[in-house]
């Protein structure tokens, strides 16, 4: 792993998610965070694409305090509450007609786990119990629970748990990542058609096998069609997040995928945990990249509560809502803290701030500026990084730079990261230089062993000056890592 950045001043009793003890934050305002050691750092990635309006917004602080004074907690199987009802109405009303019902959870993995169970409940309620298969995609991430790890395909995150994952029900097709996987002799249209055909072939391959096994063992009913597709394509796949680094689909991809789902009666499901709730400069990522297609089920999380609270939501189309309402009429899944009044009140306030301060427009404007600065600085003929820049891509307030140190080329000097990798080394160096970004390794091949990318997802209210500060600190850090690795 990469070397430890700044250590905590005192011994920690937390089992951290990093091989080092992360520095301790003591206060935060907007995109700035003050650390225990006295340093002030700038957060260019909103934590993990979460803090979409930064820290300490007075409107959200007030909403949380007011809610604590009003109703702090009620249990969702006994009582509903006003902020939850209002937030659900907001999400349905702003969904451009795509959604009919909503349910709350406490984060992204719970939202995707709920999507899996809700999809199954839908087919169970309508009597298509032979539908038991999920199709996800390689190089994707849907959460860290066992079912979401099975559904997605993130080699590094699956590795320790591989023997616990369900490979009988969860299947995978290729990623939609043109810059890496479209063949040189293919047009974009032909690439999309190849992916569409691969999905359809997967349906056909799974169909008879799965249905026969399931049908004879459990249901003893003639199968109709046995494949249920989960395609989390818009941020989980309309734009793939951390795994490959803000990778949008080729044009026409979602339309093609949906056409296969429609043909076989499967559900079309989008994971917008990272890409949704404004991150791309539109409320939903499918508004930017969906080819006019809307999902049957969708998960959102991070930007919903903006980091002020722990919350996620599942949005249901009329098809799914009707299927469940007409039968059981309620969700056969849930958690103690779902629809928490404080979480919902804070999320409503976050959404009000995004709307009243016109932050989606600012996200688009400052995001475009960020990308132009990244491109011009990193690709300038005088930049030592230029030969290694593979792609600068993104939309709204969500951008990534992908580097390529693996493919040999005469203009690339030799480098040796001494057992580390550029992505994580740059993340650590940025932190030393007072900047939070995310750096990753392994998004360039299906095995997850090649490619380095860095991700930027600042608050939607980031300013022009802050964007310049982010790019300065990032370029300096990346150059420092590179200069140490040159051989």
Ligand X SMILES: Cc1ncc(COP(=O)(O)O)c(C=O)c1O
Contact positions vs ligand X (CB under 6 A): 48, 107-109, 112, 141-143, 235-236, 241-242, 271, 273-274, 301
**Beta carbon nearer to ligand X, 35 or 151:** 151
Cα–Cα distances (Å) from 334 to 20, 106, 113, 168, in that order, read 35, 10, 10, 25
* Minimum distance of ligand X from residue 312's CB (angstroms): 6
Least separation in angstroms between residue 438's CB and ligand X is 10
Strand pairing partners for 312? 105
Confirm if 177 and 138 have CB atoms less than 8 A apart. Answer: no
CA 424 – CA 440 distance, rounded (Å)? 6
Q: Which is nearer to ligand X, 54 or 303 (CB)?
A: 303
Residue 300 C-beta: closest distance to ligand X, Å: 10
Q: Which of 464, 462, 349 is nearest to 58 (CA)?
A: 349
Q: Pick the closer one to ligand X by CB: 286 or 388.
A: 286
CB neighbourhood size of 64 (10 A): 17
Number of Cα atoms under 13 Å in the Cβ half of residue 289: 31
Using CB positions, name the residue nearest to ligand X: 108
**Residue closer to ligand X, measured from CB, 114 or 362:** 114
With H, G, I as helix, E, B as strand and everything else as coil, classify residue 401: strand
Choice between 79 and 146, CB closer to ligand X: 146
Which CB, 325 or 333, lies closer to ligand X?
Answer: 333
Task: Say what angle helices 359-379 and 464-485 make with each other, to 10 degrees.
Answer: 30
The burial of 21, by beta-carbon neighbours within 10 Å (0-12 exposed, 13-18 middle, 19 or more buried), is given as: middle
The CB-of-350 to ligand X minimum distance in angstroms stands at 15
Shortest distance (Å) from residue 394 CB to ligand X: 15
The nearest distance, CB 141 to ligand X, in angstroms, is 5
Three-state DSSP at 100 gives: coil
């Amino acid at each position: 792993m990469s070397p430890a950045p700044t250590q905590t001043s005192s011994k920690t009793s937390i089992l951290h998610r990093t091989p080092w003890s992360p520095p301790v934050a003591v206060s935060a305002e907007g995109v700035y965070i003050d650390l225990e050691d006295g340093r002030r750092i700038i957060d260019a990635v909103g934590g993990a694409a979460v803090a979409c309006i930064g820290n300490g917004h007075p409107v959200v602080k007030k909403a949380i305090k007011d809610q604590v004074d009003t109703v702090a907690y009620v249990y969702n199987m006994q009582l509903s509450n006003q902020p939850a009802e209002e937030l659900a109405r907001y999400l349905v009303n702003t969904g451009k007609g795509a959604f009919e019902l909503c349910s709350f959870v406490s984060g992204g993995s719970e939202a995707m786990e709920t999507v899996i169970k809700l999809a199954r409940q839908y087919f169970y309620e309508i009597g298509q119990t032979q539908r038991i298969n999920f199709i996800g995609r390689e190089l994707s991430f849907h959460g860290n629970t066992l079912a979401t790890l099975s559904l997605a395909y993130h080699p590094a995150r699956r590795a320790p748990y591989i023997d616990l994952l369900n490979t009988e029900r969860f299947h995978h097709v290729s990623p939609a990542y043109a810059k890496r996987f479209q063949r040189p002799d293919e047009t974009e249209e032909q690439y999309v058609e190849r992916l569409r055909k691969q999905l359809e072939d997967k349906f056909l391959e799974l169909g008879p096998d799965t249905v026969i096994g399931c049908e004879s063992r459990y249901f003893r009913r003639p199968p109709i069609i046995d494949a249920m597709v989960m395609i989390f394509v818009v941020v989980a796949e309309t734009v793939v997040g951390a795994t490959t680094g803000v990778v949008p689909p080729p044009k026409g991809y979602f339309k093609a995928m949906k056409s296969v789902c429609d043909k076989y009666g499967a559900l079309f499901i989008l994971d917008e945990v990272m890409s949704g709730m404004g991150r791309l400069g539109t409320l939903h990522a499918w508004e930017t990249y969906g080819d006019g297609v809307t999902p049957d089920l969708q998960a959102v999380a991070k930007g919903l509560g903006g980091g002020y609270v722990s919350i996620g939501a599942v949005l249901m189309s009329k098809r799914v809502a009707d299927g469940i309402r007409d039968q059981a009429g309620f969700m056969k899944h849930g958690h103690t803290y779902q629809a928490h009044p404080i979480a919902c009140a804070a999320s409503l306030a976050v959404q009000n701030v995004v709307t009243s301060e016109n932050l989606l427009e600012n996200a688009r404007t400052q995001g475009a500026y960020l990308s132009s600065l990244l491109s011009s600085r990193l690709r300038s003929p005088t930049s030592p990084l230029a030969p290694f820049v593979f792609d600068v891509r993104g939309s709204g307030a969500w951008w990534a730079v992908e580097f390529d140190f693996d493919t040999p080329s005469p203009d690339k000097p030799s480098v040796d990261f001494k057992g580390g990798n550029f992505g994580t080394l740059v993340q650590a160096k940025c932190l030393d230089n007072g900047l939070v970004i995310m750096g990753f390794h392994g998004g360039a091949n299906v095995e997850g062993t090649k490619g380095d990318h860095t991700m930027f997802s600042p608050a939607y209210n980031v300013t022009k000056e802050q964007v310049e500060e982010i790019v300065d600190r990032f370029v300096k850090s990346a150059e420092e890592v590179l200069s140490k690795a040159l051989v």
